Amino acid sequence: MFSMEALVASGIGIVTATGIYLLLRGRTFPVVLGLSLIGYAVNVFIFAMGRLWTNAAPIVDRGPNVADPLPQALVLTAIVIGFATTGFVIELALRSRHDNGTDHVDGKPDPAQPKDGGP
């Protein structure tokens, strides 16, 4: 059987691999999704590195085991920054689509796409 550590590590690896695969796509929407998935994988990794303590006091002078609030604060900050960054990247992608007439990340037209900009 798998231990919980192996399961979490495998999940983080799968999400990271999926994010990298999406980053290598030629369209902007999969790239944005890939960036988001990599951000989620990093957040889970940071949170998992802080360990999950049971019956641990949240204040230092209350017992031998103390929960570490630093990974939780880092992940919360990363979630806020990731949300703002995703919104900014989506706005850049929309502007690029408007200016170039295509949603390729390099701005070059797709030969399979019709000239009128249709689907």
Contact 89, 35 (CB under 8 A): yes
Structural domains of the chain, ranges and CATH numbers in brackets: 4-100 (1.10.287)
CA 65 to mean position of chain CA atoms: 31
Q: Give tens-digit pLDDT for 41-86.
A: 999 998 888 776 666 666 666 667 766 778 888 899 999 999 999 9
- pLDDT interval class at 109 (50, 70, 90): low
Separation in Å, CA 82 to CA 11, 23, 43, 79: 20, 16, 10, 5
Task: Give me the chain's average pLDDT, please.
Answer: 83
pTM listed for this prediction: 0.75
Kindly state the percentage of the chain with pLDDT values over 90. Answer: 39
119 pLDDT more than 60? no
